[in-house]
Amino acid sequence: MADCNETLRELETFLDSELPDETRAAIQAHLGDCVDCLQAFDFYAELRVVISEKCRNEEIPPGLIARIELCFNEDFDGDSKIG
Ligand SMILES: [Zn+2]
C-alpha cells in the first residue's frame, strides 16, 4: 500500500488521471484509510477547481503550485504522528 508521502506526491497526477490503474487503486485505498491524506486530497481537488475557474484563459503559474505544495509540507511536518 502507498504511504502518506507517496500519496501526497502523486495527488496531482492522480487528479489529472494520468496514473496507471495499479497506482490509482493503491492511492484510493490509502485515501479510504487515512483521514489526513483524504483531507489533503479534498483540499487539492477543490483548489484545482477554484484555480481553473480563476484562470480560465491563463496558464496556472508554476510558482503557485510550488507554494501550495510548500504549505502542505509545513502542515505535515507539524504533525509527527503520521507515518
Ligand atoms: Zn496518508
Domain ranges in the chain are: 4-77
Query: How far is ligand 1, taken at its centre, from the CA of residue 4, in Å?
Result: 4
Query: How far is ligand 1, taken at its centre, from the CA of residue 77, in Å?
Result: 13
Mean pLDDT (the chain, rounded):
81
Query: How far is ligand 1, taken at its centre, from the CA of residue 25, in Å?
Result: 14
Range 16-34 average pLDDT: 92
Say whether pLDDT at 38 is over 90: yes
Query: How far is ligand 1, taken at its centre, from the CA of residue 56, in Å?
Result: 31
What's this model's pTM, rounded to 2 decimal places? 0.59
Q: Shortest CA distance to 68 belongs to which of 15, 2, 1, 19?
A: 15
Contacts of residue 14, Cβ cutoff 8 Å, sequence gap at least 6: 23, 24, 27, 41
How many CB atoms sit inside 10 A of residue 29's CB?
13
Query: How far is ligand 1, taken at its centre, from the CA of residue 50, in Å?
Result: 24
Q: Shortest CA distance to 43 belongs to which of 8, 3, 6, 79?
A: 8
CA distance 15 to 26: 14
Cell numbers given for 18:
494520468
